[in-house]
Amino acid sequence: MLNRVAVVTGASRGIGRATALALCRAGFEIVVASPEVEKNEEVAAEIRNCNGKALTVNLDLASLDSIRECFELTTREFGRVDVLVNNAGITRDALAMRMKPEDWNLVLQINLSGAFFACQQVIPAMLKQRWGRIINIASVVGQSGNPGQANYVSSKAGIIGLTKCLAQELGGRGITVNAVAPGFIETDMTRNLPAEVRDAMLAKVPLKRPGKPEDVAAAVRFLASEDASYITGHVLNVNGGMYM
């Protein structure tokens, strides 16, 4: 049986780490890609402890050269890329009138442009093998908006638009392109929020609890599977009902 290969960006922690482990358990060989070199190795060790195969890559999504090198290394090591999970993302929050140009540009560059250029790297081989899965991690705020996050919201709304565009371009060759839009998920990013902000966010969630990274990872694992072969251009909300 063919071992499929999945590249997960931002795999060193949070949703990315949970996704890498979930795909490993589903039988994928994993490329753990992020700029956090030591944490990459920790995740790779967890994968190997589960009898999985892992490659770590120091990936800087702000650098096109780094993106190219990541996929060249993956192809040399594993011979193929079957699944790309564009999970990596950053925030640089501020009200729109106070947002610094460099903070706007960096968030768009990493969250949206980085994901696009990663897609560009895998599309030719996926077209050739007539099979592929591209799964982009969006956000509930890319659908609903959120004050103080014009850059982040725009990047995630852009990810949804990119998903729909690529789904239409690539569907005829057996490649599906979908997005997962997490809501309020317990990660390093959300754990550091002030208590009043956390309480206000949870008040908007009908399930009355935050999600776990594993909840998002389960959705990614499904979209990467043969069971999701007739789903493309879809945004799968994993948000506890926060946005409907």
Would you state the CATH architecture of domain 5-234?
A: 3-Layer(aba) Sandwich (3.40)
Tokens 């996926």 identify what position?
126
Write phi, then psi, for 96 (nearest 5 degrees).
-55, -40
Residue 1: per-residue pLDDT: 54
pLDDT average, residue stretch 168-197: 92
Residue type, 108: L
| Average model confidence (pLDDT) across the chain | 96
pLDDT in tens, 39-77: 999 999 999 999 999 999 999 999 999 999 999 999 999
CA 25 from chain centre, in angstroms, equals: 18
Beta strand 5-9 pairing with 83-86: parallel
On whether the pTM is more than 0.95, the answer is yes
Residue 182 CA: distances (Å) to CA of 11, 66, 87, 230: 16, 27, 11, 22
pLDDT average, residue stretch 185-199: 85
pLDDT in tens, 106-149: 999 999 999 999 999 999 999 999 999 999 999 999 999 999 99
* Number of Cβ within a 10 Å radius of residue 170: 19
Lowest average pLDDT, out of 99-103, 165-169, 196-200, goes to 196-200
Residue 188: per-residue pLDDT: 80
Q: With cut-offs at 50, 70 and 90, classify the pLDDT of residue 80.
A: very high
Q: With cut-offs at 50, 70 and 90, classify the pLDDT of residue 182.
A: very high
- Residues with catalytic function: 152
Residue 122: per-residue pLDDT: 98
pLDDT average, residue stretch 24-43: 98
Residue 195: per-residue pLDDT: 87
pLDDT in tens, 94-106: 999 999 999 999 9
Q: Has residue 2 got a pLDDT over 80?
A: no
Residue 198: per-residue pLDDT: 87
pLDDT in tens, 40-49: 999 999 999 9
- The residue extents of the domains of the chain are 5-234
CA distance 109 to 113: 5
Q: Has residue 4 got a pLDDT over 80?
A: yes
